[in-house]
C-alpha cells in the first residue's frame, strides 16, 4: 500500500510518553475550577476570547467605529437639547444640567446594546458555523464557551464605556472621582446583558426572530429612566420600570456620576449580579442541550 | 490482564458495557460491549445508520450515553470529559473547521483550546501543515479549499494535542487515492509509535489494511467481532466466483447455480457464489449452460463478510 509514497515526516504526534512539558495538559485554572462542575468547565474560557481578538485584529476599524456612536449621542445632547431643556433635579435632589443627567444613562445603555448584539451573533456561530461543536471536542466545556463569549462582549463594551467616560470628562460632565466607577458599572450591565443575549441566541430558531429581541431592547432603552427621572411615572407603574435591568444600571451610573452614593446601590448591584450569574448558568446549559446531544 | 473492582480492564483504553444511546424515542445504540486495548487499531464497520458515529461521539465525550457503562482512559466521560478530551484527538464525520480563520490559524487556535502554549502551537501548526500537505496554503482562508484539503486539515487538527487515542469517523471519505494511501501510511506510523486508533469506514480495503480488530454494527448492535482475517474465515468461504450479468437479469440464474455454492449473494448486476474452490465451481457453472457476461475468481474479502452480516443472503 505504501509503495511510491514519498519519505514522510511524521509529526512528533504519536509519541505519547515523550511529549513536551507544555503539551497535553490544560494550563488554565483558577478558583472557579474548584467550584464548578468539572465536566463543563476546564478553566480555558479565555482561549475563546483569544480567537475573537485574532479576528478583530484584522478588523480593528470595526471596533473603533463603535466608539463614535456614543460620542454622537453626547454631542447631539450637548448641542441640541441643552439649549431647550434647562436644569433637572439630580439624584441628590440638587439641580444639574440635562446633559449631565443623561450622559451616564447613555453610557450604560450603550454597554447594554453592545453586549446584547455581540452575543446575539453567537446564533450564527452556533447554528451555521458549527464553531462550538469543534470547541467542545477539546477540553473546553460549555461553561468555558459561555464565559469566553460573554467575556469578549464585556471587554468590547468596556472599551466603549472607557471612551465614553473620556468624552464625558472632557465635556466637564464627570466631576466626581466616583465617576471612575462608571466603568465597572458598565462592565456589570454588559455582563448581565451579554449573558441574557447568549441565552436568547440559543433559543432563537431563525435570524428573523432577532426582531423580538429588538422589540424588547428598544422600549427598555427608552423607558428605563434614561431620559427622565422615575418621578415622572405614576407610582402604580414604577414596579414595571424596576423590572428593567437597564434601570438598575442607570440608577447606579447616575448616582456615581454625581458622586452621591446611597445604600440602594447595593440592591442594584445585587439585581444585576444575580441576572448575570443566572444568565451564565442557563446559557451554558442551553449550549450543552443543543450541541451535546 | 488486571481488572479493577468495577470489572473494567484497566489496560483498556476504551471499555464499554451495555452501552446505549437514545435520541428521544429512537435508540441508535442498543447495548454494546467492546474493549479497545492500548496501541490497537480498532475499526467500527456497519451500514448507514448502524450507530457508528453515535458510538464514536460517546467515546469522544461529546455525546452523553443514555445507558450502560463507558470508560475512556480509565475515566468516566460523564464526570471527566475535559480530562479525557485533553488526551484524545477527534476527527468528526463532517468537517467543522473554523471558516473565519486561515489554515494556520485553525491549527494554532485549536491547539490553544487544549491549553497549549503559543510557542508550542506555532511549531505544531507548521509540522501538521506539512503532514497534511497544506504548507503552501498556510495563510489561505479555509472556505475555498477543496473538500479533500479540508478533510486533510481536519485530520491534522485532530493531532494538535499529540493524542494518545485518535478517533477517526470516516477519515478518508472524499480523499483522492493518493491522499488515502498517504494517510494510511501515516496512521500506520502513528500506531507504531503507540497511538491507539479507533476508526469507522465504509471502505473494506481500508479496514483490512489498518485495523487489528473490527466490530461490525447493524441496527445499533454489534453483530460480529474479530480480526479482518478471522472474520473472513468465520463468515465467508475461502474463494468467491463473481458472475456478471446485464443488470436486472441476474436473478434468473439463481436457481440454476444455488446448489453449486455454500451461499449465493445477489447484487444488482451480479451473483456472488461463495465456495472453497471457485475455479471448480466456474467449470460446473458453464456445464449448466449459464453464460454470464464475464466471470471472476477471487479470494474472499471483508466486503463479503460485510454483505453477509448486514445485507440479505439468499442461501445460507
Ligand atoms: N442528534 C441526533 N438526533 C436524533 N437522531 C440521531 C442523531 N444522531 C444520530 N441519530 C440517529 O441515530 C442513528 C445512527 O446514526 P449514526 O450517525 O450513529 O449512524 P452511522 O453508523 O454513523 O451511519 P453513517 O454510516 O451513515 O455515518 C440514525 O438513525 C440517526 O438518524
Ligand atoms: Mg457516521
Measured distance CA(B225)–CA(B217) in Å, rounded: 9
pLDDT for A143: 96
A136-150 confidence digits (pLDDT tens): 999 999 999 999 999
3-state SS class at B241: strand
Measured distance CA(B165)–CA(B39) in Å, rounded: 8
- Taking the Cβ of residue A16 and every Cβ of chain B, the question of whether any pair is shorter than 8 Å is answered with yes
Q: Distances from the Cα of A180 to the Cαs of A47, A165, B89, in angstroms?
A: 29, 8, 47
Measured distance CA(B290)–CA(B33) in Å, rounded: 46
CATH of region B14-225, choose from 3.40.50.300, 3.40.50.970, 3.60.15.10, 1.10.3720.10: 3.40.50.300
B13 lines ligand 1 (CB under 6 A): no
Measured distance CA(B125)–CA(B138) in Å, rounded: 9
Q: Hey, what's the cell of A175?
A: 466631576
pLDDT at A100 over 50: yes
Angle CA(B239)–CA(B243)–CA(B249) in degrees, nearest 5?
145
B151-207 confidence digits (pLDDT tens): 999 999 999 999 999 999 999 998 999 999 999 998 999 999 999 999 999 999 999
pLDDT for B289: 85
- Listed in order, strand segments (DSSP E) in A160-238 are none
User: Strand pairing of B67-72 and B12-23?
Assistant: antiparallel
Measured distance CA(B96)–CA(B106) in Å, rounded: 11
Q: What average pLDDT does chain A have?
A: 85
Q: Where are the domains of chain B?
A: 14-225, 237-299
pLDDT for B202: 95
Report how far Cα B280 is from the mean position of its chain's Cα atoms: 35
B201 lines ligand 1 (CB under 6 A): no
Measured distance CA(A35)–CA(A31) in Å, rounded: 7
Residue spans of chain B under pLDDT 70: 1-10, 312-316
* Backbone torsions φ then ψ of B102, nearest 5 degrees: -80, 175
Q: Hey, what's the cell of B159?
A: 493531532
Q: Where are the domains of chain A?
A: 44-291
Residue whose CB lies within 8 A of the most ligand 1 atoms, among B30, B44, B50, B66, for a mutation test: B50
pTM of the full predicted structure?
0.88
pLDDT for A21: 34
pLDDT at A32 over 80: no
> Do B85 and A12 lie within an 8 Å CB cutoff?
no
Q: How confident is the model at residue A19 (pLDDT cuts 50, 70, 90)?
A: very low
- Taking the Cβ of residue A21 and every Cβ of chain B, the question of whether any pair is shorter than 8 Å is answered with no
Residue whose CB lies within 8 A of the most ligand 1 atoms, among B24, B51, B64, for a mutation test: B51
pLDDT for A12: 36
Counts of helices then strands in chain B (DSSP H, E): 11, 13
Percent of chain A with pLDDT over 90: 60
Average pLDDT of the segment spanning A260-266: 92
pLDDT for B31: 97
- Taking the Cβ of residue A134 and every Cβ of chain B, the question of whether any pair is shorter than 8 Å is answered with yes
Q: How confident is the model at residue A27 (pLDDT cuts 50, 70, 90)?
A: very low
Burial of B286 (0-12, 13-18, 19+ CB in 10 A): exposed
Determine the distance separating the centroid of ligand 1 and the alpha carbon of B154, expressed in angstroms: 21
Measured distance CA(B75)–CA(B55) in Å, rounded: 16
CATH architecture assigned to B237-299: 2-Layer Sandwich (3.30)
Q: Hey, what's the cell of B133?
A: 500537505
- Taking the Cβ of residue A18 and every Cβ of chain B, the question of whether any pair is shorter than 8 Å is answered with no
- Nearest-by-Cβ selection for B96 from A13, A39, A130: A130
Amino acid at each position: 500500500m505504501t509503495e511510491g509514497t514519498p519519505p514522510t515526516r511524521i509529526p512528533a504526534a504519536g509519541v505519547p510518553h515523550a511529549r513536551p512539558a507544555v503539551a497535553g495538559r490544560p494550563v488554565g485554572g483558577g478558583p472557579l475550577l474548584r467550584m464548578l462542575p468539572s465536566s463543563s468547565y476546564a478553566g480555558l474560557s479565555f482561549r475563546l476570547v483569544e480567537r475573537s481578538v485574532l479576528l478583530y485584529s484584522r478588523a480593528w476599524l470595526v471596533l473603533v467605529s463603535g466608539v463614535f456612536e456614543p460620542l454622537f449621542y453626547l454631542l447631539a445632547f450637548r448641542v441640541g437639547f441643552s439649549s431647550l431643556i434647562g436644569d433637572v433635579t439630580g439624584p441628590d435632589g440638587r439641580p444639574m444640567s440635562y446633559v449631565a443627567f443623561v450622559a451616564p444613562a447613555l453610557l450604560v445603555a450603550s454597554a447594554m446594546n453592545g453586549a446584547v448584539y455581540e452575543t446575539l451573533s453567537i446564533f450564527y456561530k452556533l447554528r451555521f458555523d458549527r464553531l462550538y461543536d469543534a470547541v467542545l471536542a477539546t477540553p473546553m466545556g460549555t461553561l468555558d464557551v459561555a464565559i469566553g463569549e460573554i467575556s469578549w462582549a464585556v471587554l468590547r463594551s468596556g472599551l466603549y464605556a472607557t471612551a465614553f467616560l473620556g468624552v464625558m470628562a472632557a465635556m466637564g460632565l464627570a466631576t466626581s472621582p466616583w465617576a471612575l466607577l462608571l466603568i465597572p458599572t458598565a462592565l456589570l450591565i454588559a455582563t448581565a446583558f451579554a449573558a441574557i443575549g447568549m441565552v436568547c441566541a440559543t433559543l432563537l430558531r431563525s435570524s428573523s426572530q432577532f426582531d423580538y429581541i429588538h422589540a424588547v431592547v428598544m422600549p427598555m432603552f427608552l423607558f428605563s429612566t434614561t431620559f427622565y427621572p422615575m418621578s415622572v411615572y405614576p407610582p402604580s407603574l414604577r414596579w414595571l420600570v424596576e423590572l428593567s435591568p437597564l434601570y438598575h444600571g442607570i440608577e447606579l451610573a447616575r448616582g456615581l456620576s454625581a458622586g452621591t452614593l446611597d445604600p440602594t446601590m447595593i440592591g442594584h448591584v445585587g439585581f444585576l449580579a444575580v441576572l448575570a450569574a443566572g444568565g451564565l448558568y442557563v446559557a451554558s446549559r442551553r449550549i450543552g442541550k443543543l450541541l451535546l446531544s | 490482564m488486571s481488572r479493577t473492582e468495577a470489572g473494567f480492564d484497566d489496560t483498556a483504553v476504551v471499555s464499554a458495557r451495555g452501552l446505549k444511546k437514545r435520541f428521544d424515542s429512537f435508540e441508535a445504540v442498543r447495548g454494546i460491549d467492546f474493549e479497545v486495548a492500548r496501541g490497537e487499531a480498532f475499526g467500527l464497520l456497519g451500514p448507514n445508520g448502524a450507530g457508528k458515529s453515535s458510538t464514536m461521539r460517546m467515546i469522544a465525550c461529546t455525546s452523553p450515553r443514555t445507558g450502560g457503562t463507558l470508560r475512556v482512559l480509565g475515566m468516566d466521560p460523564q464526570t471527566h470529559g475535559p480530562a479525557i478530551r485533553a488526551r484524545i484527538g477527534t476527527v468528526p464525520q463532517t468537517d467543522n473547521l473554523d471558516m473565519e480563520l486561515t489554515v494556520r490559524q485553525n491549527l494554532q487556535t485549536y491547539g490553544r483550546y487544549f491549553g497549549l502554549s503559543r510557542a508550542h502551537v506555532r511549531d505544531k501548526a507548521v509540522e501538521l501543515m506539512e503532514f497534511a500537505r497544506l504548507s503552501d496554503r498556510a495563510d489561505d482562508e479555509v472556505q475555498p479549499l477543496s473538500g479533500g484539503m479540508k478533510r486533510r486539515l481536519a485530520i491534522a487538527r485532530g493531532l494538535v494535542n499529540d493524542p494518545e487515542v485518535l478517533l477517526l469517523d470516516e477519515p478518508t471519505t472524499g480523499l483522492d487515492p493518493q491522499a488515502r494511501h498517504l494517510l494510511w501510511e501515516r496512521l500506520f506510523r502513528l500506531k507504531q509509535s503507540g497511538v491507539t486508533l479507533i476508526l469507522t469506514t465504509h471502505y473494506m480495503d481500508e479496514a483490512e489494511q489498518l485495523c487489528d480488530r473490527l466490530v461490525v454494527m447493524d441496527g445499533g448492535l454489534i453483530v460480529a467481532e474479530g480480526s479482518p482475517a478471522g472474520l473472513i474465515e468465520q463468515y465467508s468461504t475461502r474463494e468467491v466466483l463473481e458472475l456478471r450479468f446485464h443488470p436486472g437479469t441476474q436473478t434468473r440464474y439463481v436457481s440454476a447455480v444455488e446448489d453449486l455454492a455454500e451461499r449465493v449473494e445477489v447484487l444488482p448486476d451480479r451473483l456472488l457464489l461463495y465456495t472453497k474452490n471457485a475455479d471448480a465451481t466456474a467449470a460446473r457453472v458453464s456445464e449448466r449452460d449459464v453464460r454470464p457476461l464475464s466471470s471472476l475468481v477471487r479470494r474472499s474479502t471483508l466486503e463479503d463478510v460485510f454483505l453477509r452480516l448486514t445485507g440479505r443472503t439468499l442461501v445460507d
